[in-house]
Amino acid sequence: MALDMDKLNTFVGRFVGDLGATVHAGMVVIGEKLGLYKALAALPMTSAELAAKTSTDERYVREWLSSQASGGYVTYDEKTNKFSLTEEQAFTLANEDSPAYLPGAFELALGSLAAVPRITESFRTGAGMGWHEHNEGVFHGCEKFFRPGYAANLVTSWIPALDGVQQKLEEGAQVADVGCGKGASTILMAKAFPKSRFVGFDSHDQSIAGARDSAKRQGIGDSVNFEVAKAKVYPGKDYDFVAVFDCLHDMGDPVGAATHVLKSLRKDGTWMIVEPFANDQLKDNLNPVGRVYYSFSTLLCTPCSRSQEIGLCLGAQSGEARIRDVVTSAGFTRFRRAAETPFNIVYEARP
Among 234, 173, 182, CA closest to 205: 182
Give, in order, the Cα–Cα distances in Å from 149 to each of 105, 153, 245, 336: 12, 6, 11, 21
Other C-beta atoms closer than 10 Å to the C-beta of 120 total 9
Strand 265-276 and strand 224-228: pairing? unpaired
For residues 97-117, give the mean pLDDT. Answer: 94
pLDDT of residue 307: 97
Among 137, 140, 119, CA closest to 129: 119
pLDDT score of 2 more than 90: no
Mean pLDDT of the chain: 96
Confidence band of 245 (pLDDT split at 50, 70, 90): very high
Strand 239-245 and strand 265-276: pairing? parallel
Q: What is the pTM of this model?
A: 0.93
Long-range residue pairs from 87-94, CB within 8 A, at least 24 positions apart, any chain: 90/37, 90/40, 90/41, 93/28, 93/31, 93/32, 93/37, 93/41, 94/37, 94/38, 94/40, 94/41
* CB of 289 closer than 8 Å to CB of 339: no
* 47-58 per-position pLDDT tens digit: 999 999 999 999
Q: Give every CB contact of residue 8 below 8 A, 6+ residues apart in sequence.
A: none
From first CA to last CA, the distance across the chain in angstroms is 60
pLDDT score of 108 more than 80: yes
* 123-181 per-position pLDDT tens digit: 999 999 999 999 999 999 999 999 999 999 999 999 999 999 999 999 999 999 999 99
Instruction: For residues 72 and 55, give the distance between their C-alpha atoms in angstroms, rounded to a whole number.
Output: 24
pLDDT score of 27 more than 80: yes
Extended strands (E) in 70-228: 75-77, 82-84, 174-178, 197-202, 224-228
Burial class (CB in 10 A: 0-12, 13-18, 19+), 44: middle
Instruction: For residues 212 and 300, give the distance between their C-alpha atoms in angstroms, rounded to a whole number.
Output: 24
* CB of 290 closer than 8 Å to CB of 317: yes
Q: Which residues of 195-224 are buried (b: 16+ CB within 10 A; e: fewer)?
A: ebbbbbbbbbeebbebbbebbeeeebeebb
Instruction: For residues 186 and 197, give the distance between their C-alpha atoms in angstroms, rounded to a whole number.
Output: 10
pLDDT of residue 246: 97
Domains and CATH numbers, the chain: 18-95 (1.10.10.10), 147-284+300-350 (3.40.50.150)
Range in 69-78, 84-93, 212-221, 275-284 the model is least confident about: 212-221
* CB of 93 closer than 8 Å to CB of 87: no
